[in-house]
Chain A
Amino acid sequence: QSVLTQPPSVSGAPGQRVTISCTGSSSNIGAGYDVHWYQQLPGTAPKLLIYGNSNRPSGVPDRFSGSKSGTSASLAITGLQAEDEADYYCQSYDSSLSVPVVFGGGTKLTVL
């Protein structure tokens, strides 16, 4: 059971828009901690996709965007492409646990 809750799977057709939610609590996202998003393509290491809730590292297409509100965060992908098929993870921090870093359980994005 992950501290941050993500839907196990989402899907969309090429060109469509999909969103992935990441729900936390008052001790992590709701406490003001930033949320980061990672993309993991099949058989590869995770890659930082969004940092600080809504910022894209250099090289990440602007089709990817992030937002945060209250105890939740969201990743949106517009203009869906076949190469976006991957696992997506949110990550934040928690003040109530003895561990400082928490991940969501991950969401598998399928491009139909």
Chain B
Amino acid sequence: EVQLVESGGGLIQPGGSLRLSCAASGFTVSSNYMSWVRQAPGKGLEWVSVIYSGGSTYYADSVKGRFTISRDNSKNTLYLQMNSLRAEDTAVYYCARDQGFHYGMDVWGQGTTVTVSS
């Protein structure tokens, strides 16, 4: 079964760091585009970052320089390292398999909640 399972969310103080994980099963992370998308409480979806199969990475302006997307091929897992966290980073974070321009994000995880608060 094709599945994504996120973990690593929690309550963190402003300025702190957190690493989210997204474990994949049923397909190979490194062979696909993989994205992180977040949703602040009561708000819409916001794209955060993508890593292409070739390794190129891109970030939303709101997280550039603070967040880093990566993957561990041996663990078939996607990561999002989040540093210098701000209150506005509070959201549910979803990982998704991104099939690219013509096919969209076809597999989503259940989400993990990040709360940035003192």
Contact = CB atoms under 8 A, between A and B. Distances in A.
B58 interface: yes
Interface string A73-112: 0000000000000010101010000111111111000000
Nearest to A47: B108
A42 interface: no
Nearest to A101: B47
B104 interface: yes
Contact of A101 (B50, B103, B106, B109): B50
B45 A38 contact: yes
Interface residues of B, number: 26
A46 interface: yes
B61 interface: yes
Give the interface residue-count category, chain A: 20 to 34
Given A45-B94, A99-B47, A51 B59 contact: no
B35 A101 contact: yes
Given A38-B45, A46-B45, A99 B60 contact: yes
Given A38-B45, A45-B109, A99 B101 contact: no
Contact of B108 (A33, A36, A46, A57): A46
B72 interface: no
A5 B103 CA distance: 21
Nearest to B64: A98
A52 B45 contact: no
A48 B106 contact: yes
A28 B16 CA distance: 35
A98 to B, nearest CB: 6
B104 A52 contact: yes
B114 to A, nearest CB: 15
Contacts of A47: 108
25 contacts: A2-B44, A34-B101, A34-B104, A36-B103, A36-B104, A36-B105, A38-B105, A45-B108, A45-B110, A46-B37, A46-B45, A46-B94, A46-B105, A46-B108, A48-B104, A48-B105, A48-B106, A48-B108, A51-B103, A89-B45, A91-B45, A98-B61, A99-B60, A101-B35, A101-B50
